[in-house]
Amino acid sequence: MDIKTLKNRKRSNIISTLKRKNLKLKKDITSHMKSTVSTQEQEKHLLKLEKDISRCANFSLYGIDQDNDIKYFASVFCGSKVCFVCNYARQKRVRRKYFNWFGLNPQLFLIQNPKTKTKKVVSQNRVSSFQAKGYEVASKVNYDLMHLTLTVPHYLTSGFQGEIYYYQKITDLFHNLRNECKAWGELVYGGEYGIETTRTAGNGLHIHIHSLLFVRSTQQNRNKLHQVILEEWNQRTINQFSTRETLDTKTKELIKKSNRLIDDEFCSRLNPKGTTMISLETIYSFNEKGEKIRETEFNSEAMLRAVMETIKYHFEPLAFDKEGKTFDLELMKELLPVIYRKQLYRKFGAIHGDKSLNIKEDASETTEEDFLDSVNQETGEIINPVNYFVCNPAFMFHNPSNDNQIICSNLAKSKLKKIDAITTRGAINQMSQMVQASLKHHSNN
């Protein structure tokens, strides 16, 4: 059996499995709402979430070929950050985008405007748009990838600087660091970041930043940048509710251990009431012995795995306990109204405006090869006739002993809706029309 078919069956199995997980989560949410007290706003968001994940991927496109083999093509997603199906689709999409991007951008471009003397570092995708504005390419520049994690001193009853939900506060502080710190501008070409939330025992909500940085390649660039960020972030994150007046010997030793350039004199400049520890690591992966190795081969699988580990907040479910494999429904209920329509992800610097890295929700999970498998693009002749149908993936099953062969259950046979189309693109267009008709019907009832 060809690799393409095996991958298609595997993908179909994953979608079906995650759809069933969504239905299990829906039941858990319903049970939680019945057994706990919620505010009107919290209940509204839980009901919306319940509706979203129960509908997600209900419109999924399949096809049966002449050999009676079923193939999966695409699903229409809800886009929820909590949805199992959408987070999987988002992960695949982000991985594909970054793999393609790094293949085209092993270096960045330094451009300058001869008239204004303005200089910028941009990705290859942005060069032409700036050339149209009068910029010229000065040179290519090398960069290293680093993973930055920023936290702030926070407490159970007062949060950070008196705010329990300090999303905007930490966003503004990071924006200020990037724009007001001269040393940052000299060392960092750009990057992207996302805000993650966990709950820590005794300290309330732990709202923190994960950022992928494109750092100028110089000797000891990690230590130099770490030193700059730590001092600048410390001064910006002074929390008046902190009771710490001095840094003890143990804390100073931990700070010095994090960076060989840091000494006692540096530690004396840190405010005890601000952040005193940050994490900055050059992107790495693990070799066969389990040892960390630095990744320098751009667009390699090993490098991409390391990058994906850094930006995993794009597709990690909200309020999900990775160890216990369960959702913290109380935390979810608390956060949904707070983060509604808040932008928790941004690109900056060299990749700001680079649309090829936009993290957006597509209507369906498809690839170009899905569109080209049934029709000869030169003659228009049907190569492999397919009978298309739309069905809920929860009703579709897979035979693990036969390479995950897709099986249409009796329930699926009674529920599926046939589509009269000769191309996958045409079938997807018809499925989209079905979705719009369904949404219109629900809005009128």
Q: Which of 121, 140, 99, 109 is nearest to 297 (CA)?
A: 99
Same domain? For 200 and 303 the reply is: yes
State which residues form the domain around 12.
3-79+363-443
Which two structure tokens, joined as six digits, stand for 296?
């320098």
Q: Is residue 165 part of a domain?
A: yes
Q: Which of 357, 381, 398 is the last residue of a domain?
A: 357
Each of the 445 residues of the chain gets a pLDDT tens digit; together they read: 789 899 999 999 999 999 999 999 999 999 999 999 999 999 999 999 999 999 999 999 999 988 899 999 999 999 898 999 999 998 888 888 888 898 889 899 999 999 999 999 999 999 999 999 999 999 999 999 999 999 999 999 999 999 999 999 999 999 999 999 999 999 999 999 999 998 877 888 999 999 999 999 999 999 999 999 999 999 999 999 999 999 999 999 999 999 999 999 999 999 999 999 999 999 866 666 766 665 556 667 777 878 888 888 777 788 887 777 788 999 999 999 999 988 889 999 999 999 999 876 544 554 444 444 455 555 555 556 689 999 999 999 999 999 999 999 999 999 999 999 988 889 999 999 999 998 887 666 6
Q: Which of 298, 323, 357 is the last residue of a domain?
A: 357
- Give me the number of domains the chain comprises: 2
Q: Is residue 84 part of a domain?
A: no
CA gap 259, 333 in Å, rounded? 40
Q: Which of 294, 323, 357 is the last residue of a domain?
A: 357
Same domain? For 322 and 421 the reply is: no
Same domain? For 205 and 295 the reply is: yes
Same domain? For 163 and 212 the reply is: yes
Same domain? For 308 and 168 the reply is: yes
Q: Is residue 123 part of a domain?
A: no
Same domain? For 44 and 193 the reply is: no
Sequence-distant (6+) residues with CB within 8 A of 35 are none
Same domain? For 310 and 383 the reply is: no
> CB burial class (10 A; 0-12, 13-18, 19+) of residue 401?
exposed
Q: What is the pLDDT, as a whole number, of residue 333?
A: 94
Same domain? For 75 and 9 the reply is: yes
Same domain? For 43 and 10 the reply is: yes
Q: What is the pLDDT, as a whole number, of residue 368?
A: 40
Q: What is the pLDDT, as a whole number, of residue 381?
A: 55
Q: Which of 331, 327, 316, 38 is nearest to 199 (CA)?
A: 331
Q: What's at 39, amino acid-wise?
A: T
Q: Is residue 129 part of a domain?
A: no
Q: Which residue has the tokens 């995993």?
A: 312
Same domain? For 302 and 341 the reply is: yes
Q: What is the pLDDT, as a whole number, of residue 363?
A: 46
| Cross-strand partners of 364 | 76
